Amino acid sequence: MKHLLNTISILIILSLAQGCFAQYIPVKVEVSQEQVRVNGELYYLHKVSQRQTLYSISKAYGIPADSI
């Protein structure tokens, strides 16, 4: 009986934890083709959309987040 309760408890915990991961929706970051030259250096112009982070933008452009 105790084994059955432990098994049911574990299944309930695992099923509740499943919902936490279902909430994550990755944000698509489109790399801009628009560039501008500032003081002789070339930069991309990127319009930040809702829920985009420095991390997601830096991964899309292939640069470190601290260089943005």
Can you give the residue ranges of every domain in the chain?
2-67
Confidence of residue 22 (pLDDT cuts 50, 70, 90): low
Whole-model pTM over 0.75 = no
- Pick 48 or 3 by higher pLDDT: 48
Using the structure block, give the residue that is written with the tokens 């509740």.
Answer: 16
End-to-end CA distance of the chain: 59
46-61 pLDDT tens trace: 999 998 999 999 999 9
In 3D, which of 64, 67, 61, 66 has the Cα closest to residue 29? 61
pLDDT attached to residue 12: 82
For strand 35-38 and strand 41-44, is the pairing parallel, antiparallel, or unpaired? antiparallel
pLDDT score of 26 = 80
State residue 45's pLDDT score.
94
Q: Which residues have CB under 8 Å from 67's CB, separation 6+?
A: 58
Tokens at 17, concatenated:
């934890």
